[in-house]
Amino acid sequence: MENIKSKEININFSGKLVSLGPLRSDLVPLYNRWNNDFQTTKTLATTGPVILEEEIAAFKQISQNKNFLFFTIYEKHTLQPIGNTFLSDINYKNRTAEFNIVIGEKDSRGKGYGTEVAKLVLDYSFQTLGLHNIFLKVFEFNKNAIRAYEKAGFIRCGRRRQAHFSRGQKWDIIYMEALASEFESSACQNDLH
């Protein structure tokens, strides 16, 4: 893991394991490294190489788009950036959005960070943004992510059969959702309400 130091890190809220803060322009090269690690991106919809100039342009575009809400994920005790999470396609009229997460640092996987991030984002989505339905898509081969999402409160709500081609094989896409009316808020240590 790279040693990223900054004069000041803004933290929006924290759980027991992770803290979430806004995207940072000084971390764009790190985000770019994560987006070019094919072991990391094999679970994402896009898996092609991304040059730094594309990453910089994407950073500028998403930071101005009100239908997206991005956070940098930090390991709470070291404040080292370990990934990103975001809501996309936010629809305030229908109170819906799509959840996405990338744990970019390999040594940060399998430690419960993804589950806690999902809980934090759900809590923020429901309690602060007033959203009601958050959904996600996950490839059937990503069993660890499916377990993490289920622990966070997502339930399976559909399947698109053989709709993703990866590693020479066709895979199903599993759809999962969480509803505000079924979610128990407990992840945040900071008061979001």
**Which positions are catalytic?**
149
Q: What are the tokens at 152? A: 């966070």
The SS3 of residue 191 is coil
Question: Phi first, then psi: what are they for 146, rounded to 5°?
Answer: -60, -45
Q: What are the tokens at 52? A: 């730094």
Buried b / exposed e along 149-168 (16+ C-beta atoms within 10 A) = beebbbeeeeeeeeebeeee
Query: What secondary structure letter does DSSP report for 83?
Result: E
C-alpha distances (whole Å) from 164 to each of 1, 44, 134, 155 are 30, 10, 22, 20
Q: What are the tokens at 76? A: 């709470």
C-alpha distances (whole Å) from 124 to each of 20, 71, 82, 90 are 11, 12, 20, 13
